[in-house]
Structure 1
Amino acid sequence: MYQLKILSNFAAAHNLLHYHGDCENLHGHNWKVEVTVTTRDLDASGLGIDFKSLKKHTNEILDRLDHKYLNDLDFFKDISPSSEHISRYIFEALESSLVVPGVTLKEVTVWESDNACATYTRD
């Protein structure tokens, strides 16, 4: 089994709902996003998926978040735009747009700082 990973990023503002502390106030992050896929097979070039293609699909989704106030986006209208929920949002959006035979989206990890991240994966 091969595991492939790309890194990307976006910057956005948010505030956490139902939270008591600094993060209930408007603030922003420069999020780093890791996308991991798996595959058993390689193409004639020895690739499981072209990194360029995986980055393109990922960045199309991140463009929806970049330089936005996340609380205003439909997905986050009723849920807190935490790193946990952001990782799920990216995973679900990428899962529906990335349709490559033999390639499975394994997980999406969202880093809100150098030492704090959340990962979403299917059970």
Structure 2
Amino acid sequence: MVTRIYKETHFDASHRLMHYEGKCSRLHGHRWSVEVWMDGTPDEKSRILLDYNIIKNIINVYDHQVVLNKDDPMVEALSRFQTPVLTNGDPTSELLAEDIRERLNTFCREHDLSARVAKLRVWESEGCYAEVFAE
């Protein structure tokens, strides 16, 4: 039997888009919202597919952080003060959705859980989100 769970969580983080011309090319912050739908077979004993707090903790790697493209020249300067969260490309809501999906799926694989991300939304602001689905 396949079970689906849902978790909504939030984080505050700043980012900038190096390859975009416009105001988002400057460092700025958002109150990001993330919605996660996970499918799989719950554990036989606990009947839990994946603890909701695990989802939140994995996503919290971004909370109160600066998220930058690993190739951004700002990384070197910022690293003298704090370690930014680095992405393989500009940290758009689309890329963050893919990154969070991969972090969640990797955790499940490494812990031999049947849970996998079915759908995931990253809201950059009210009315604007990126969505990824299971591959």
Tell me the TM-score range normalised by the shorter chain: 0.7 to 0.9
Equivalent residue, structure 2, for 1:66? 63
2:109 maps to 1:108: no
Displacement of 1:39: 3.3
Q: Do structure 1's residue 89 and structure 2's residue 90 form an aligned pair?
A: no
Q: TM-score, normalised by structure 2?
A: 0.73
CA displacement 1:71-97 (0-9 Å, x = unmatched): 154642x51000011111111011011
2-structure distance, mates of 1:61, 1:100: 17
Structure 1: any 5+ residue segments left out of the alignment? none
TM-score by length of 1: 0.80
Partner in structure 1 of residue 20 of structure 2: 19
User: Matched residues in 2 for 1:101 and 1:81: separation?
Assistant: 28
CA contact (8 A) 1:39 1:48 kept: no
The sequence identity of aligned pairs, in percent, is 26
Structure-1 residue corresponding to 2:40: 39
Return the offset for 1:44. Answer: 7.0
1:119 pairs with 2:131: yes
Q: Note the aligned Cα RMSD (angstroms).
A: 2.3
State how many pairs are aligned: 118
Matches within 5 A, 1:69-80: 69-71=66-68, 72=75, 73=84, 75-76=86-87, 78-80=88-90
Q: Unpaired runs of 5+ in structure 2?
A: 69-74, 76-83
The alignment partner of 1:69 has SS state of strand
